[in-house]
Amino acid sequence: MSQSTDLINLDTLAQELATIQQTGSKRIALLGSRHVPITHQNLIEMMTYALVLSGNRIITSGATGTNSAAIKGATRADANLLTVILPQSLERQPLESRQQLEQVMHLVENSSNDNLSLAEASYLCNKEIVSRCQQLICFAFHDSGTLLQTCQDAEEQRKVVTLFYFD
């Protein structure tokens, strides 16, 4: 039993090391809180810009705050390397988000989730985003339940997870 546990741990470590060392492009999910100060949004935008300039593909959602900053940075670098997956239909998004989202080339709507609460739809959306990425970068508060659950789900799928806390 111990030997199989050691193999799983070695496999996990080997996979994470390979992802970290990968010099080619990666599919990076970038998610985070809506409630982010503008200075933090600027940093997230610059980081996303640099990730895309390095050839990485960015996958995010369409909310204000972190996700909006990621969309700005990715679009400025190369809009073709950005995919935005919405938890619900575009019509269900706030007006300030809709204007930005209408400019996104690769936009996935989940109108089948329009009957769900935003929290339920966001959780399902985050699961879809994580399933499409190799690495997750997340910006959250210690009480951001949906985001923290998404990070845990990503770790269980052996994704490389980088979690930044605002508080």
pLDDT in tens, 21-35: 666 789 999 999 999
Name residues whose C-beta falls within 8 Å of residue 90's C-beta, 6 or more positions apart in sequence.
Answer: 98, 101, 102, 107, 109
- pTM reported for the whole predicted model: 0.85
Burial class for 17, CB neighbours closer than 10 Å (0-12, 13-18, 19+): exposed
Q: Model confidence at 13, in pLDDT bands (50, 70, 90)?
A: low
Q: Which candidate, 34, 29, 33, 86, places its Cα nearest to that of 56?
A: 29
Q: Is 158 left (phi over 0), alpha (psi -120 to 50) or beta?
A: left
| pLDDT, greater one: 82 or 11 | 82
Whether residue 19 has pLDDT greater than 70? no
Residue with tokens 């959250």: 140
pLDDT tens digits along 79-119: 999 999 999 999 999 888 899 999 999 999 999 999 999 99
Tokens 């399902």 belong to residue? 124
